[in-house]
């Protein structure tokens, strides 16, 4: 049910008249003409998904379930890298590229090792 501009002006005035003085003061500050009590609601939060259609929370939960005994620090690192990778951060892209390169380097040289200093 669409309202005419005159009806909207009447409704706006009625809403304004029913407001408490403190709220009216705010509206007066921004300007009655600039105030729009009929604004459309904002879009819901943008839930980012990766190529597999999973959210960051789903990805990290699956990853941590596959890594038994992961520490809190480990989980924080996984979360940070996941969020950075999903947002396309250059910093995190660099980390990811280095990890892939390092793994391939060790595989080419026939070395089986975990991250960290050589033992």
Task: Annotate 28-81 with DSSP letters as a single string.
Answer: HHH-TTT--TTPPPPPPP---B-TTS-BHHHHHHHHHHHSTT--HHHHHHHHHH
Query: Tell me, what's the pLDDT at 38?
Result: 85
Percent of the chain with pLDDT strictly greater than 90: 51
Each residue's pLDDT tens digit, 2-14: 778 888 899 999 9
Each residue's pLDDT tens digit, 76-116: 999 999 999 888 899 999 999 999 999 999 999 998 887 77
Q: Which residue in this structure is represented by tokens 């999973």? A: 54
32 and 65: one domain? no
Please state the domain count of the chain: 2
Query: Tell me, what's the pLDDT at 1?
Result: 55
Query: Tell me, what's the pLDDT at 45?
Result: 62
- pTM score, two decimals? 0.56
Q: How confident is the model at residue 20 (pLDDT cuts 50, 70, 90)?
A: very high
Query: Tell me, what's the pLDDT at 108?
Result: 93
25 and 68: one domain? no
Identify the domain containing residue 81 by its residue range: 56-108
């Amino acid at each position: 049910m669409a309202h005419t501009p005159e009806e909207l002006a009447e409704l706006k005035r009625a809403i304004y008249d029913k407001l408490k003085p403190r709220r009216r003061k705010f509206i007066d500050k921004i300007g009655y003409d600039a105030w729009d009590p009929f604004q459309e609601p904002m879009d819901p939060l943008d839930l980012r998904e990766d190529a597999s259609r999973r959210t960051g929370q789903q990805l990290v939960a699956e990853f941590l379930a596959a890594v038994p005994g992961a520490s809190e620090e480990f989980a924080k690192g996984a979360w940070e890298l996941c969020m950075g990778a999903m947002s396309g951060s250059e910093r995190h892209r660099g980390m990811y590229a280095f990890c892939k390169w390092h793994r391939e380097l060790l595989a080419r040289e026939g070395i089986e090792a975990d991250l960290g200093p050589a033992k």
